[in-house]
């Protein structure tokens, strides 16, 4: 299926699935601040998130959410008083249709602090799901390659792991919000 391209200022629904096609998590809305052939950049701000088990919560702080059409990861940059914290999901490239932006989440995550120290998360969950859902060796290779690529970007402070870039995206949202209300 060909992906549609979201429009800037569009409000869009985000759906994340698991390898077995079960719904993993949804975000009620993200506001598009950039949309090109490589990525979609959204802002989530006090957005309702629904987990697969039905739990619901509201995001605490604004976040810049960067999703890629060809990369096997996405980045959530959370805007906190103490700096920008990054949360990286190793996931399929996105597909956009009339309903939502969609991807498959593969458990492996990277948490990055403002000082660029990082921690790999959910390795046990990944191993469990790999076995349970039958991830192929080729898929395992792709996912670990993506994780290593992200770590290299963090270590080099390459975009999107650049606070100035994240602040610029957020400022677009602030100006866009003023236009909307």
Compute the average pLDDT of residues 8-18.
95
Find the catalytic residue in 25, 60, 168, 172.
25
Q: What is the pLDDT of residues 83-135, one digit of tens each?
A: 999 999 999 999 999 999 999 999 999 999 999 999 999 999 999 999 999 99
Q: Given a cut of 70, is residue 162 above it in pLDDT? A: yes
CATH code, domain with 17:
2.40.380.10
> What is the 8-class DSSP label of residue 2?
P
Give a yes or no: residue 6 inside a domain.
Answer: no
Q: How far apart are CA 59 and CA 50, in angstroms?
A: 11
Strand 95-96 versus strand 83-91 pairing type: unpaired
Give the chain's domain count.
Answer: 1
Give a yes or no: residue 28 inside a domain.
Answer: yes
Strand 11-17 versus strand 83-91 pairing type: unpaired
State the pLDDT at residue 1: 44
Strand partners, 4: none
The answer to whether the CB of 73 falls within 8 A of the CB of 84 is: no
Give a yes or no: residue 2 inside a domain.
Answer: no
Q: How far apart are CA 73 and CA 148, in angstroms?
A: 11
Give a yes or no: residue 5 inside a domain.
Answer: no
Give a yes or no: residue 26 inside a domain.
Answer: yes
What is the residue range of 169's domain?
Answer: 11-180
Give a yes or no: residue 4 inside a domain.
Answer: no
Q: How confident is the model at residue 8 (pLDDT cuts 50, 70, 90)?
A: very high
The answer to whether the CB of 82 falls within 8 A of the CB of 118 is: no
Strands (DSSP E) found in the chain: 11-17, 23-35, 39-44, 48-51, 56-58, 63-68, 73-80, 83-91, 95-96, 101-112, 118-121
Residue 80 annotated as catalytic: no
Q: How far apart are CA 76 and CA 74, in angstroms?
A: 7
């Amino acid at each position: 299926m060909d992906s549609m391209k979201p429009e800037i200022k569009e409000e869009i629904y985000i759906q994340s699935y698991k390898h077995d096609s079960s719904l993993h998590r949804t975000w009620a809305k993200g506001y598009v601040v950039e949309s090109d052939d490589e990525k979609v950049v959204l802002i989530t701000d006090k957005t309702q998130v629904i987990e697969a088990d039905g739990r619901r919560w509201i995001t605490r702080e604004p976040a810049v959410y960067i999703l890629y059409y060809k990369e096997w990861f996405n980045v959530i940059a959370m805007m906190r008083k103490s700096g920008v914290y990054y949360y990286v999901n190793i996931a399929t490239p996105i597909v956009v249709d009339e309903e939502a932006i969609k991807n498959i989440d593969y458990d492996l995550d990277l948490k990055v602090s403002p000082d660029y120290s990082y921690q790999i998360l959910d390795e046990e969950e990944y191993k469990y799901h790999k076995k349970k859902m039958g991830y192929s060796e080729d898929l395992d290779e792709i996912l670990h390659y993506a994780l290593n690529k992200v770590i290299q970007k963090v270590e080099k402070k390459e975009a999107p792991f650049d606070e100035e870039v994240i602040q610029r995206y957020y400022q677009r949202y602030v100006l866009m919000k003023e236009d909307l209300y």
